[in-house]
Structure 1
Amino acid sequence: MSQGGGGVNLETSLGYLLKEVSSVLRAAMEEVLRPLGMSVTHYSCLELLAQRPGLSNSELARGAFVTRQSMNVLLQALEREGYVTRPAEPPIGKALPARLTPRGRRSLEQATAAVRSVEVRMLSGMTGAEQSEAFRILKTMIRSLRDGGDGAVRSEELPPAE
């Protein structure tokens, strides 16, 4: 709730609601990943490497929304535990491209099923058409924010607070 006239009304703030969804989704994912010995960041790293083998530490950090330092610590642990492999020397430049090992792939299969169950639960109250529309809307929001606000909506164009 907003105090005074100029603050954000948390009850009607779309940004606040998106942050709440993100927080609840992360907690639900952590809950199903914990028994597998994983965190969301660990899972994200493995998923990114499965889809884009050879990513560098920096690329993985960007994709998992963590710092390069955090990703480096995680990659070192994953390498020690046999989930990923990286060359001893960089093939080009400074980057050490990472790849999943067979153990990493097996672990990822279990984690993907667990994470997918959370997503299915999250979307269970929506029709297929609503899911498609939500996806489209969220992608539009991302594009708008990344484009620097060229199509920014003025406050008077926002729907009234309930």
Structure 2
Amino acid sequence: MTADAPHDSTVPRATDRPGDASPFALGLLLRRAHWRAAAVMTEALRPLGIELRHFAVLVVLVNRGSTMQRDLAAATGTDKAGIMRVVDDLEHKGLAVRKAVPGDRRARAVEITPKGGEIFDAAHVAAEPLTKRLVAELEPGEAQQLMDLLTRFAHPAGEEA
């Protein structure tokens, strides 16, 4: 829209309020839902001494095993400097270790430690009651329906995970 173009009042305006008809509505609602879920998960992780960014890396390490540091950045949507800070934190806490990659002096693979596995498991226990609070407004069966829909949305058929 240019400065001299008139505003067309028939074009839906982007909001994240219920009933928004703009083409941005879904993305904005997903962003708001993410903020709510992230706040709840942050509350669950705080007593364990980790943050959501740490947990995201632990998830990848549990799912994939030893993972190249650069691949962790891609898997978590973090830039190279950001993933280095997260892995530094995890190493400092004894939750992960960097190991040399045979044949590549510069590359480092990251592995979860036994303590990291314990924190990962403890996070699930801590999150259970908070997750129930997160979906308390939904009717019976709707939480599972939401999970099913979001799974299909986040992992379209034919795309690699």
| Normalised TM-score (structure 1) | 0.72
Task: Please state how far the C-alpha of 1:25 moved relative to its aligned partner.
Answer: 0.8
2:117 alignment partner, SS class = helix
Alpha-carbon deviations, 1:87-113, whole Å to 9, x = none? Answer: 1x3224443221111111122221222
User: Are residues 1:72 and 2:84 paired?
Assistant: yes
Equivalent pairs, count: 142
Q: Which residue does the alignment assign to 1:25?
A: 37
* Matches for 1:48-87 after TM superposition, within 5 Å: 48-87=60-99
Q: Which residue does the alignment assign to 2:16?
A: 10
Which stretches in structure 1 are left out of the alignment for 5+ residues? 148-162
Per residue, is there more helix in 1 or in 2? Answer: 1
Runs of 4+ in structure 1 deviating by more than 6 angstroms, as ranges, are: none
Contact 2:40 2:131 in 1 (8 A): no
Q: Percent identity?
A: 23
* Matches for 1:1-162 after TM superposition, within 5 Å: 4-6=9-11, 7-11=13-17, 12=20, 13-87=25-99, 89-93=100-104, 94-124=106-136, 125-128=138-141, 130-142=142-154
Alpha-carbon deviations, 1:96-153, whole Å to 9, x = none? Answer: 221111111122221222233333332343433x334323322343356x98xxxxxx
| Normalised TM-score (structure 2) | 0.73
Task: Please state how far the C-alpha of 1:21 moved relative to its aligned partner.
Answer: 0.5
Q: CA RMSD in A?
A: 2.5
